[in-house]
Structure 1
Amino acid sequence: MTTSGEDRPAWADPRWQDEAHAWIETRLAASGRRVTGPVEARIRPWSLVWQVPTDAGPVWFKANNPGTRHEAALLGALAELAPGRVLEPIALDAARGWSLLPDGGESLRDLLGRHRDLTHWERLLPEYAALQRATAPRVDHLLDLGVPDHRPERLPTLLADLLDDEESLRVGAAAGLSPEAYGRLRAELPAYAQRCRRLAELAIPATIQHDDLHDGNVFAGPAGYRFFDWGDASVAHPFGTLLVTLRSVGYGFQLEAGDPALTRLRDAYLEPWTDRHDRRTLAEAADLAVPLTTVSRSLSWRRALDTTDPARAEYAEAVPGWLAELVGG
């Protein structure tokens, strides 16, 4: 998504902006709305987001870079498969990675900023699990839409391929993997593959895995909890979600790893699966999936930073940093 001959994203081109504005106005007109003022922009290497004022309140336009372009198509699929748990798009252009969404209201982060109440997570995690379970029968469709395949049986090959990409890992660079950590990761490949095989043997179906589910990516308005910002998502073991979620909750509530409150949240999340699996199996699967998912996080960051935008340098530690956690740094 770069302009030919220039190290800048396509959305920096005024012609691209004119085309996007025209698309927004046309799609809003079809739903009986019109733009009433200039947009407010938020730009990251992986996406551009515009808040667009209209005569019926603000709406949100998002354009993804090539590495996260699948998000637009995924939003449409999730709205169909799990209605009420995500925003219903106003318009989508999957080929260009464009989405136009209504305003979702207050985020959970804003709500917790006024009143830190852990029970929000106890209530919403089973709802997120329900979304995953509703989506599981359609994973082939999600893969056809371009959602990345991070299922346990694929992860060892993906890790091996990632280790061959020394440029992304920045081996030996200040913000990259040390040569020692790189060597440990190479040596870890057989054990990693064995753990992936065991996780697959537990036969918990793969489904959509948000891979960045924290309080900033959940709406918590009158319509209930709704989940957004799916650019990092993949088809994967569902329990990999717990890597980011429990870590972010622990940080926000100043809880150490292993705190009983975090265990209670894990169990609340796992509860919907107890109709088909015993709790011991579910706990084993969660214990396996969480560390294995550091590879998924590294891969999602590599896709997000698949751009020549110089701003990507700000996030140089993300790909090697997540991967290093697999061997303790």
Structure 2
Amino acid sequence: MTGTRTWRDPGWRAAALGWAAGQLERAGLVPGGEPEQPHVRAWSTAFRIPLRGGEAVWLKAVGPGSAQEPVLAEALAVRVPERVLVPLAVDRGRRLLLLPDGGPTLREAGADLAAWTAMLVAHARLQAEVADHADGLVALGVPDHRPERLPALVADLLADGDAQQAGRPDGLAPEVRARVLAGTGRYAAACRELADGGVPATVQHDDLHDGNVFAGGGGYRFFDWGDASISHPFLVLLVVLRFAGQVLDLSPGHPALFRLRDAYLDQWLDHGTPAELRELCDQALHVAPLQRALTWRRILRGVHEAERTEWAGAVPGWTAEHLAPGPLAPGG
């Protein structure tokens, strides 16, 4: 278990920063000042380490609920180095990553719809390029959320005794649980359609937005894989379309969101017609909120119980989102 107490513990900090110092020395990089710790969450933390000459590197640590991130970041750096932030070093056992500074994010660059579209196209290409390695990534420990497995995983979520206690801040309201249970047949059918639809499972970021993409250097590089799994690629659209709508001030169902979706789907035309891909996308957006609830449950299970309160609404919140209109539906 981890939490903010872990990340602020002097002993833990000394050991983690000591590892980073050793890796910098091996790489011929010289620190140029004291580390700062601008990011502290219950499930992760990050230090900015200044280098001599004005540049900086970042040391990131994640909790057990995101144990796949160092492994996945390392694997993607081998497969698609031009599309990701390539770590300088990784310690899988201690869940540490030493990362270069990636420059401005898409959010910091103030992206318009054209930039969001180009980013999402680049991400689809990343997913397509690593799809052949999905089994190997699962074998390395990346969570397996392929659609054929999701009905059983969701059944376990709904059977969770803690999640059923509506009196708990993280518990499901009885009416929500009843409605989700009543729809499990449709959910399983949607998962079967995704599994049989011809689009291969691959890496699914699960938290893709403008703050998790670097926009400099003439291309887009993706990072922050702490929520990621191996799943149907189209599930990534749930979060990215919601963020695009918020950032670009587009109401749910706005035509620009459909254009953004279609630009992404066009990268998968080797696996279906436009109509077939749009139908699979509809099923993916139906399936995705409960998959997102599974991700949050995994992450919070790796956090000290006393530090879960602030985020206690995440699992029931995403479970309830399953019953709401999606990001492409008016009123969604």
Q: With structure 1 as the length reference, what TM-score do the two structures score?
A: 0.93
CA contact (8 A) 2:198 2:272 kept: no
Query: Matches of 1:251 and 1:8 in 2, distance apart?
Result: 29
Flag structure 1 segments of 5+ consecutive residues without an equivalent. none
2:253 to 242, 249, 258: 258
> Residues 268 and 318 (structure 1 numbering): CA distance in 2 closer, same or farther, change over 3 Å?
same
1:184 to 179, 186, 193: 179
Is 1:33 matched with 2:16?
no
Query: Matches of 2:247 and 2:213 in 1, distance apart?
Result: 15
Query: Matches of 2:280 and 2:42 in 1, distance apart?
Result: 34
Task: For residue 223 of structure 1, report the CA deviation from its aligned partner.
Answer: 4.2
Query: Matches of 1:12 and 1:58 in 2, distance apart?
Result: 21
Flag structure 2 segments of 5+ consecutive residues without an equivalent. 326-332
Helix, strand or coil at the partner of 1:221: coil
> Who is 1:311 aligned against?
307
Query: Matches of 1:22 and 1:253 in 2, distance apart?
Result: 42
Letter in 2 for 1:35: P
> Cα deviations across residues 131-174 of structure 1 (Å, max 9, x unaligned)?
00111000111101111111110000000001122324653445
2:203 to 201, 208, 211: 208
Helix, strand or coil at the partner of 2:221: strand
Letter in 1 for 2:88: I
Helix, strand or coil at the partner of 1:92: strand
Helix, strand or coil at the partner of 1:48: strand
> Residues 25 and 265 (structure 1 numbering): CA distance in 2 closer, same or farther, change over 3 Å?
same
CA contact (8 A) 1:87 1:104 kept: yes
> Who is 1:65 aligned against?
63
Task: For residue 327 of structure 1, report the CA deviation from its aligned partner.
Answer: 2.4
> Residues 168 and 68 (structure 1 numbering): CA distance in 2 closer, same or farther, change over 3 Å?
farther
> Who is 2:219 aligned against?
224
> Who is 1:46 aligned against?
43
Q: With structure 2 as the length reference, what TM-score do the two structures score?
A: 0.93
**Percent identity of the aligned residues?**
48
Letter in 2 for 1:251: Q
> Who is 1:101 aligned against?
99
> Residues 18 and 309 (structure 1 numbering): CA distance in 2 closer, same or farther, change over 3 Å?
farther
> Who is 1:134 aligned against?
129
CA contact (8 A) 2:4 2:41 kept: no
Helix, strand or coil at the partner of 2:83: coil
Query: Matches of 2:45 and 2:152 in 1, distance apart?
Result: 32
> Residues 124 and 328 (structure 1 numbering): CA distance in 2 closer, same or farther, change over 3 Å?
closer
> Who is 1:236 aligned against?
231
CA contact (8 A) 1:169 1:320 kept: no
Letter in 1 for 2:307: A
